[in-house]
Amino acid sequence: MANELILIVEDNEKNRKLVRDVLQFRGYQTVEAETGEDAVRLARERRPALILMDIQLPGINGIIALGQLRSDPTTRAIPVIAVTASAMSTRARSSASPAMG
């Protein structure tokens, strides 16, 4: 799979750079998106071999973006790996958010 294109979807610049540097060191080409909307657009335009997608994104989140990718015949077969830097699940964070003020 080396030299194939991987779409990195991450809104945190440091995390995105880390993933990009590791993948490029291993011989992969990368393209990057900071939002779910950009991820869907780039996936349709570039048809990457793999998408690494953060769950918590500005605009549409990674789950909604994944749904859009799966409903589109041009992108539905692209493998997507969901990644997040958060140690707390989305459900737990939603439940805890009123307590966090």
For 22-31, 51-60, 90-99, which range has the lowest pLDDT when averaged over its residues?
Answer: 90-99
| CATH number of the domain within which 79 lies | 3.40.50.2300
What's the pLDDT at 100? 34
Strand duo 29-33 + 5-9: pairing: parallel
Q: pTM of the full predicted structure?
A: 0.83
Q: Residue 9 belongs to what H/E stretch?
A: strand 5-9
Percent of the chain with pLDDT over 90: 78
- Classified as helix, coil or strand, 74 is coil
Task: Write down the pLDDT at residue 90.
Answer: 52
CA distance from start to end of the chain: 45
Q: What is the mean pLDDT of residues 37-51?
A: 98
DSSP 14: H
Average pLDDT over residues 64-88: 91
- Per the listing, tokens 């015949």 go with 73
Question: What pLDDT shows up at residue 6?
Answer: 99
- Cα–Cα dist 8/20, whole Å: 7
Q: How far apart are CA 37 and CA 87, in angstroms?
A: 24
Residue-range definition of the domain harbouring residue 84: 5-100
* Overall number of domains in the chain: 1
Beta carbons within 8 Å of 30's beta carbon, 6+ residues apart: 5, 6, 7, 8, 19, 20, 23, 24
